[in-house]
Structure 1
Amino acid sequence: MDGTKGGGEIYAVVGGVGGAGATRLSVEFAATLARDGRDVAVVDASFSTQGLAAFVPERIEPDVTRVLTEDRPLAEAETRLGLDLAGSVTVAPARTPFERLARAKTSECARRLAERLSAATERYDAVLVDVPPVGANQSVAAVTAADAVALVVPDAERGSDAVPRMCDRLADVDAAVDTVVANAAREDRVVEAADAVVPTGETEALSAAPAAVEPTEFAVAVASAVETLTGVDLDLPEPESSSMTDYLPG
């Protein structure tokens, strides 16, 4: 990522287990990059949970599954969030009945998803994909199309157990985990394999996201995770009391 619009990269944010917080962190990561002046898209590949729809209160038509099943441009499903940031955050959520959800998981639609993600990099500085635990065609398409993969797990025993299991699963589809993010971490960290650590914020509700739009302790940790995943140095203000070492694994 060079900071110029277009020619961006794709980052898959994969939940290692259900409820790991991948949807929220996808949006927090996007907002963090937007704070640094980048235009970012977040695309929903979690068709069953459809968490990104929470950020678009109005009617979503077409959603990302209709775009895929009817072979339409991804831009038709995009909504720009009204955030006062130097850059922008645009989301392409899923909001679909079960019948179309099933059709959107076919191999043909997975191929279209990979194509749409690649095309979106010409319009955005970064494209983030909200990916559920990998077990369906669209998830495989997202991780194999991605330039880098973040595996999000809760900082708990079930999160630690999920890391090797999900790394093996991605290896089975010729993909790899580039960054392990321990989410909702508390003082006693559990996931020893974590490359980045995000603490529990004041609230974990999707309705409160993105919270990483002000220089808070939480935002510092999210920015550190974004830098680890993307390899870029973000020029963001920090709270006076913060210490980046507080949020690094180890």
Structure 2
Amino acid sequence: MSTRIVAFVGATGGAGTTRLTVESAALLAATGRSVAVFDAAVQTQGLAAYTDQRIDADVTALLTGEADLDATLYEMELDGPGVVNLCPAWAPFERLARAKTAGAANRFEQQLAAAAISHDAVLIDTPPIGGNQAIAAVNEADRIGIVAPDTNRGRDGVALTRERLADIGVEDDAVIANRSTEGLLDTDVRVPEIEATDASSAPSAVPADEQFTPAVLEIVERLVGVDPDVEIPDSGRLSGLFQ
């Protein structure tokens, strides 16, 4: 698998983009791959909840040139042969503001490319398109997935996101309906609800279950470009992951 940079773009706030980005990374790590996950949603800082480590240097320090890439990566605690390195946002307002400039966005693109050299995959937790970081994320990405709730609001959000992507000359590669129960969205992947939604319960896709894991596998196949070969027995254990 050649390194792929993938932007998971929230069509609305609260779409569950951060969780699906982390779940996809964890499933890739279960195959022995190394994955970097970047937080482009610096305002909400949701990715920080997925590490128990003290965050000294974060992605905003990276974007403002106050820290290098290695200093801003925090390994997620996982069982398995691979690794997930998180680059979360955890910063005071003053640095958040400086990290939102056009110059910081250019640096973001450079650092994403640098991370792709040292990792098998780079995933970006991207907020609704509207700021410099989000634009940098989709500009640098090889593939783009739109994450939306399976609601009328989500459907409207997908349409708006596609308009904004078109404005900057890119288009999505998949639409992911998260917490899908109604079937309202015209979508490529439907992800069912999971019982535990707090960050401490992640990942839920590993060990496998019979509904959530196959949906995450489909996301990984479509956006990261791997060919999954997965057996999900009744016991809910992974057997024979990716070839």
Shorter-chain TM-score bucket reads: over 0.9
Map 1:162-173 to 2 at 5 A: 162-173=157-168
For residue 85 of structure 1, what is the aligned residue in structure 2? 80
Equivalent residue number for residue 247 of structure 1: none
TM-score using structure 1 length = 0.90
SS at match of 1:10: strand
Bigger mean CA deviation after superposition, 207-216 or 151-160 = 207-216
Q: Percent identity among equivalent residues? A: 47
The answer to whether the Cα contact below 8 Å between 1:50 and 1:95 also exists between their aligned partners in 2 is yes
Deviation string, structure 1 residues 39-83 (Cα, Å, up to 9, x no partner) = 111011110110111122332111110111125322210011120
* Conserved 8 A contact 1:198-1:225: no
* Structure 1 equivalent of residue 202 of structure 2: 209
Residue equivalent to 1:94: 89
Alignment partner for residue 27 of structure 1, among 5, 22, 27? Answer: 22
- Residue segments in structure 1 that go unaligned for 5+ positions in a row: 243-250
Q: Cα offset for 1:241?
A: 9.0
* Residue in structure 2 matched with residue 146 of structure 1 by the alignment: 141
Report the 3-state secondary structure (helix = DSSP H, G, I; strand = E; otherwise coil) of the residue aligned with 1:152: strand
1:115 aligns with 2:110: yes
Q: Distance in 1 between matches of 2:172 and 2:223?
A: 10
1:100 maps to amino acid: R
- Out of 35-44 and 124-133, give the one that drifted further: 35-44
CA distance in 1, matches of 2:61, 2:207: 35
**Secondary structure of residue in 2 paired with 1:185:** coil
How many residues align? The count is 235
RMSD: 1.5
C-alpha distance in 2 between matches for 1:132 and 1:97: 19
1:228 aligns with 2:222: yes
The amino acid that maps onto 1:43 is F
CA distance in 2, matches of 1:94, 1:58: 13
CA distance in 1, matches of 2:138, 2:11: 13
What letter is aligned with 1:163?
V
- 8 Å CA contact 2:57, 2:67 repeated in 1: no
Q: Secondary structure at the match of 1:48?
A: coil
* TM-score of the aligned structures, taking structure 2 as reference length: 0.92
User: Displacement, 1:167?
Assistant: 0.5
**Contact persistence 1:153–1:183 (CA under 8 A):** yes
Determine the C-alpha separation between the residues in 2 that align with 1:84 and 1:221: 21
Q: Say whether 1:64 aligns with 2:45.
A: no
2:189 matched to which residue of 1? 196
SS of 2:205's equivalent in the other structure is: coil
